Structure 1
Amino acid sequence: MDDTTADLVITELHRRQVPVVRLDPGDFPEAVTVQAGVKDTGLTGIIRTATREARLDRVRAVYWRRPRPYTAAPGVKGQDARWCVEEARYGLGGILASLPAHYVNHPWRNRSAEYKPAQLTAAVRCGFDVPPTLLTNDLDAAREFVREHGPAVYKPLRSTDYHDARGQALTVWVDEVDPHDLDEGIAQTVHLFQRRVRSVADLRITAVGEEVFTVRIDGSPGLDWRRHYDSLSYTLIDTPPALAKPIRAYLDAFGLIFAAFDLGLDHEGRTWWYEANPNGQFAWFPPAITQRLVSAVADQLHCAGEPS
Structure 2
Amino acid sequence: MTTVLIVTHSKDNQSIPLVLKAIAEQGGKAFRFDTDRFPTEIQLDVYYGKGIQRLILASAQGKLDLSDVSAVWYRRIGIGRRIPTTMNPQLRQASVQESRTTIQGMIASLQAFHLDQLPHIRRAENKQLQLQMARELGLDIPPTLITNNPQAVREFAKDCKEGLVTKMLSSFAIYEEGQQKVVFTNPVTAEDLDNLDGLSFCPMTFQENIPKALELRTTIVGQRAFTAAIDSQTNEQARHDWRRQGIALLDAWQPYVLPLDVEEKLLELMARFRLNYGAIDLILTPDGRYVFLEVNPVGEFFWLEQYPGLPISKAIADLLLGQLHK
TM-score w.r.t. length of structure 2: 0.86
Equivalent in 249, 269, 292 of residue 250 of structure 1: 269
Equivalent in 197, 211, 228 of residue 245 of structure 2: 228
> Could you tell me whether the CA contact under 8 Å between 1:128 and 1:246 is conserved in 2?
yes
CA distance in 2, matches of 1:190, 1:53: 47
Q: In the alignment, what sits opposite 1:279?
A: 298
Equivalent in 201, 219, 235 of residue 214 of structure 2: 201
CA distance in 2, matches of 1:254, 1:31: 35
Q: In the TM superposition, what is the alpha-carbon distance from 1:286 to its structure 2 partner?
A: 5.5
For 1:101-140, list aligned pairs within 5 A.
101-140=112-151
Letter in 2 for 1:84: S
Q: In the TM superposition, what is the alpha-carbon distance from 1:187 to its structure 2 partner?
A: 1.4
For 1:1-308, list aligned pairs within 5 A.
1-38=11-48, 44-71=54-81, 73-74=83-84, 75-150=86-161, 151-164=163-176, 166-181=177-192, 182-220=195-233, 221=235, 222-229=239-246, 230-231=248-249, 233-285=252-304, 287=306, 289-290=308-309, 292-303=311-322
> Could you tell me whether the CA contact under 8 Å between 2:135 and 2:141 is conserved in 1?
yes
For each residue in 1:45-89, what CA deviation from the matched residue of structure 2 results, as whole angstroms up to 9, or x when unmatched? 101123232111111111111212434733532222222222222
Letter in 2 for 1:77: N
CA distance in 2, matches of 1:102, 1:179: 51
CA distance in 2, matches of 1:237, 1:131: 22
Change beyond 3 A, Cα 1:15–1:77:
farther
CA distance in 2, matches of 1:107, 1:89: 13
SS of residue in 2 equivalent to 1:53: strand
> Could you tell me whether the CA contact under 8 Å between 2:164 and 2:188 is conserved in 1?
yes
CA distance in 2, matches of 1:43, 1:124: 46
Change beyond 3 A, Cα 1:41–1:236:
farther
SS of residue in 1 equivalent to 2:261: helix
CA distance in 1, matches of 2:197, 2:272: 37
Letter in 1 for 2:172: T
> Could you tell me whether the CA contact under 8 Å between 2:228 and 2:304 is conserved in 1?
no
Change beyond 3 A, Cα 1:194–1:219:
closer
Decide which structure has greater strand share.
2
Change beyond 3 A, Cα 1:42–1:253:
farther
Change beyond 3 A, Cα 1:34–1:301:
same
Q: In the TM superposition, what is the alpha-carbon distance from 1:290 to its structure 2 partner?
A: 4.3
Q: In the TM superposition, what is the alpha-carbon distance from 1:252 to its structure 2 partner?
A: 1.4
For each residue in 1:118-141, what CA deviation from the matched residue of structure 2 results, as whole angstroms up to 9, or x when unmatched? 222222223211111011111221
Letter in 1 for 2:98: E
Q: In the TM superposition, what is the alpha-carbon distance from 1:39 to its structure 2 partner?
A: 6.1
SS of residue in 1 equivalent to 2:12: coil
Change beyond 3 A, Cα 1:132–1:305:
closer
TM-score w.r.t. length of structure 1: 0.91
Moved more, 229-238 or 25-34: 229-238
**Equivalent pairs: percent with the same residue?**
29
Provide structure 2 residue ranges, at least 5 long, that are not aligned to the other structure.
1-10
CA distance in 2, matches of 1:38, 1:303: 28
| Superposed CA RMSD | 2.3
SS of residue in 2 equivalent to 1:120: helix
SS of residue in 1 equivalent to 2:145: strand
> Could you tell me whether the CA contact under 8 Å between 2:83 and 2:96 is conserved in 1?
no
Letter in 1 for 2:109: S
Letter in 1 for 2:241: D
For each residue in 1:73-114, what CA deviation from the matched residue of structure 2 results, as whole angstroms up to 9, or x when unmatched? 335322222222222222221111221111112222222211
